[in-house]
């Protein structure tokens, strides 16, 4: 692994990645773990085994919690979520007519399948023009407040009519809490943390764990980094956001990816969990994630020229990616430039963690691509 480590560190050096934790695992053992701090950015470095805000890398975990809970409570995937969280039925659909935002009643009951498959009509404030406009007019609450008020934002399309990335996993968290009678963090502990011995994964990290939270940096157009950690409130308050509130470490997240590898390989019978890794949206396309807040995220053209679909909490590449993952692999990312993939055919999963805005920074995307290529070069026999 010396050659692998040497090459990947050269990549991080040349691309001027300030700091990154990264690792690779098989289904039976972790293959490699590394921590990199760029010598030009010593003021941005942090301690080994830092706690990271996983942001949307929370979604596959919440998908697993939801599916396991539905099994335990004998609830169907196509059950109406409004039975358990009635306020979701009050959401209207926002649309534009001659540059004016209007609203209409939603006549399609939102199901667990809709929320899990991102076909519920929900959107994100930084990826949808209507929600972005409503936010700028202060007609809806921003996510940055750290509470759950942003979940009251309207839908932007009829449930079941297309795929659209948004806040639906926040509603899944609410439904889990309503059904179980426990906070989302307790369900996380029951179904995942205790079975996998995840000591540092939580929707509500202890004060001792908060001391090892990696700082969050914003990189401006001049390449200057500023510490914006104090502005990051999500995941550090009573509201547990199922779409992005988990904090975790490299070690713990590798255990989670290893667990997913095992479940893909071993699941049979009537378990709902394998549905995570199968296309749940039919022929709906996965469009580019356009940004309406460039300080938060750049436009993200997700694996252009690769046919894609969506399972539950996971993007699926339907075609192989040359020199990288096999067809049928799954992946996703978090807004603070965290990325992972799970390739069951090659029995490999990898994760790369930073804490930098804006998201989808070209240099970090390139670093993640190189990390994946080198992982296959050195760890998968042709």
Assign residue 200 a region (left: φ > 0; alpha: ψ between -120 and 50; beta: otherwise): alpha
- Does residue 209 have a pLDDT over 90? no
Domain ranges of the chain: 2-379
Q: Which H helix or E strand runs over 8?
A: helix 2-14
Q: Are 47 and 154 in contact (CB under 8 A)?
A: no
Return the bridge partners of 247, or none. 53, 202
Query: pLDDT exceeding 90 applies to what percent of the chain?
Result: 85
Nearest to 250 by CA among 71, 53, 23: 23
| CA distances for 6 relative to 1, 2, 32, 260, 369, angstroms | 9, 6, 13, 29, 16
How is residue 28 written in tokens?
A: 């039976």
| pLDDT at site 381 | 64
Q: What is the DSSP secondary structure assignment for residue 325, as one 8-state letter?
A: P
CA angle 316, 112, 177 (to 5 degrees): 115
pLDDT digits (tens, 9 = 90+) for 71-91: 999 999 999 999 999 999 999
* Cα pseudo-dihedral 218, 221, 223, 228, rounded to 10: -10
Q: For position 206, what pLDDT does the model report?
A: 84
CB burial of residue 197 (10 Å; 0-12, 13-18, 19+): exposed
Query: Within 13 Å and on the Cβ side, how many CA atoms surround 13?
Result: 7
Cβ–Cβ under 8 Å, residues 23 and 29: no
Q: What is the mean pLDDT of the chain?
A: 94
Instruction: State what percent of residues in the chain have pLDDT above 70.
Output: 97
Q: SS3 for 151-168, per residue? A: HHCCECCCCCCCCCCCCH
pLDDT at 116 over 70: yes
Q: What is the pLDDT of residues 34-55, one digit of tens each?
A: 999 999 998 887 777 799 999 9
For 37, the token pair is: 């701090």
d(CA 185, CA 126): 26
Would you state the pLDDT for residue 234? 65
Q: Which of 166, 341, 333 lies closest to 257, judged by CA? A: 341
- pLDDT tops 90 at residue 103: yes
- What are the pLDDT digits (tens) for 217-259? 999 988 899 999 888 876 677 899 999 999 999 999 999 999 9
Residues 6+ apart with CB under 8 A from 96: 102, 130
How far apart CA 340 and CA 374 sit, in angstroms, is: 14
pLDDT tens, 307-347? 999 999 999 999 999 999 999 999 999 999 999 999 999 99
| Coil/strand/helix, residue 145 | helix
Encoded tokens for 110: 């939102």
Query: Is the pLDDT confidence value at 362 over 70?
Result: yes
Residues 6 or more apart whose Cβ sits within 8 Å of residue 156: 93, 94, 95, 121, 122, 123, 128, 130, 131, 164, 166
pLDDT of residue 268: 59
What is the torsional sign of CA 313, 70, 121, 135?
negative
Phi then psi for 118, rounded to 5 degrees? 60, 40
Higher pLDDT, 381 or 92: 92
DSSP 53: E
> What's the rounded Cα separation, in Å, for the pair 45 and 223?
16
Predicted confidence at residue 382, as pLDDT, reads 47
Distant-in-sequence, close-in-space partners of 86: CB < 8 Å, separation ≥ 6: none
Beta-strand ranges (E) seen in 193-250 are: 217-219, 225-227, 247-248
- Residue 266 CA to chain centroid, in angstroms? 24
pLDDT band at 269 (very low <50, low <70, confident <90, very high): low
Give the pLDDT mean for 144-163: 96
Could you count the other beta carbons within 10 Å of the beta carbon of residue 205?
21
Which residue has 């297309």 as its token pair?
A: 162
Matching residue, tokens 């709906």: 284
Checking if the pLDDT of 207 tops 70, the result is yes
Higher pLDDT, 15 or 382: 15
What are the tokens at 223? 């390449």
- Does 3.40.710.10 match the CATH number of domain 2-379? yes
Q: Round to whole Å and give the CA distance between 80 and 84.
A: 8
Residue in 122, 129, 125, 207 with CA at minimum distance from that of residue 159: 122
């Amino acid at each position: 692994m010396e050659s692998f480590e040497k090459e990947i560190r050269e990549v991080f050096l040349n691309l001027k990645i300030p700091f990154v934790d990264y690792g690779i695992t098989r289904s039976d053992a972790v293959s490699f773990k590394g921590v990199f701090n760029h010598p030009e950015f010593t003021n941005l470095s942090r301690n080994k085994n830092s706690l990271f805000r996983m942001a949307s890398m929370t979604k596959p975990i919440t998908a697993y919690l939801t599916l396991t809970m539905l099994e335990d409570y004998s609830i169907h995937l196509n059950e109406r979520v409004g039975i358990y969280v009635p306020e979701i039925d009050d959401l209207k659909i926002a649309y534009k007519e001659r540059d004016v935002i209007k609203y209409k009643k939603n006549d399609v009951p939102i199901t667990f399948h809709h929320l899990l498959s991102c076909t519920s009509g929900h959107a994100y404030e930084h990826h949808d023009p209507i929600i972005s406009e409503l936010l700028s007019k202060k007609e809806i609450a921003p996510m940055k407040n750290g509470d759950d008020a942003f979940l009251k934002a309207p839908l932007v399309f009829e449930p079941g009519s297309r795929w659209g990335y948004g806040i639906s996993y926040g509603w899944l968290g609410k439904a889990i809490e309503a059904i179980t009678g426990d906070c989302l963090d307790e369900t996380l502990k029951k179904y995942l943390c205790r079975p996998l011995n995840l000591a540092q994964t939580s929707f509500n990290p202890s004060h001792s764990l908060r001391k090892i939270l990696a700082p969050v940096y914003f990189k401006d157009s001049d390449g200057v980094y500023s510490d914006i950690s104090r502005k990051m409130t999500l995941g550090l308050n009573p509201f547990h956001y199922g779409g992005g509130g988990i904090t975790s470490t490299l070690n713990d997240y590798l255990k989670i990816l290893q667990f997913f590898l095992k479940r893909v390989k071993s699941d049979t019978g009537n378990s709902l969990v394998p549905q995570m890794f199968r296309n749940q949206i039919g022929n709906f396309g996965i469009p580019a994630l356009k940004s309406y807040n460039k300080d938060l995220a750049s436009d993200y053209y997700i694996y252009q020229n690769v046919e894609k679909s969506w399972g539950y909490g996971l993007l699926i590449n339907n075609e192989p990616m040359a020199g990288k993952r096999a067809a049928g692999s799954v992946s996703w990312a978090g807004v603070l430039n965290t990325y992972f993939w799970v390739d069951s055919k090659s029995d490999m999963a990898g994760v790369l963690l930073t804490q930098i805005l804006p998201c989808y920074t070209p240099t970090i995307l390139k670093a993640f691509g190189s990390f994946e290529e080198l992982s296959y070069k050195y760890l998968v026999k042709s």
